[in-house]
Amino acid sequence: MKKKERALAIARILDEHFPDPPIPLQHKDTYTLLIAVLLSAQCTDERVNKTTPDLFQLADNPHDMSKLPVRQIEEVIRPCGLAPAKSKAISGLSQILVEKYNGKVPDSMRELEGLPGVGHKTASVVLCQAFGKPAFPVDTHIHRLAWRWKLSTGKNVAQTEKDLKKLFPEEMWIKLHLQIIYFGRAFCPARGHDPWACPICREFGRRSMFASKKDS
């Protein structure tokens, strides 16, 4: 089976299990989504969702957030990890949004990546989930699954993103990003992975066995 055929077969399995995946980070608008995604770096979505209500009670827009002391932001977001760096980034990007963008989150990759603490993956998530623009955010989890499912041999997330974009039609990227995340959590974890309990690994493991028997 060619890689592109494998990719589309995997997409069909993902559709069967997660046909309409919701955005896992709780938010009410583009700005709160941006902050939640920034906080999710090296942190679980569950922890972020427990932390952001306290933060957004203090400030849920760039105007109010830019007025908060960085130390106060840091104390609230401490459970998410990397609090000193994240709090400075939240304060800094909020000030830039107020001064440069009239309090609005920009909708271009270049402008988003120009904000403090906003890397390529965070910008990609905001572009596709807030603005509906085609992007394929790849984090370490999607990178791991793409390698396990033989969709990419990329040694880093940047190469894996390029490989996945070549394999799947652009109109599938936004949903696939979320489907892979949910599927990985439910069936294909990094630890304690049982290939026969995973619909994708089971399917293609079986095909590999058939192929090896034919060759023997």
35, 108: one domain: yes
150, 63: one domain: no
Domain boundary among 130, 164, 196: 130
Q: Does the pTM exceed 0.95?
A: no
Active site residue 121: yes
101, 119: one domain: yes
179, 201: one domain: yes
Alpha-carbon span 141 to 45, nearest angstrom:
13
- Which of the residues 50, 133, 139, 213 is marked catalytic? 139
141, 164: one domain: yes
Active site residue 139: yes
Which tens digits make up the pLDDT trace of 92-123?
Answer: 999 999 999 999 999 999 999 999 999 999 99
101, 53: one domain: yes
- Which of the residues 3, 28, 67, 121 is marked catalytic? 121
189 lies in which domain range? 3-21+137-215
122, 160: one domain: no
- Whichever domain contains 11, its CATH number is 1.10.1670.10
98, 80: one domain: yes
Which tens digits make up the pLDDT trace of 142-195?
Answer: 999 999 999 999 999 999 999 999 999 999 999 999 999 999 999 999 999 999
Count up the domains in the chain and report the number: 2
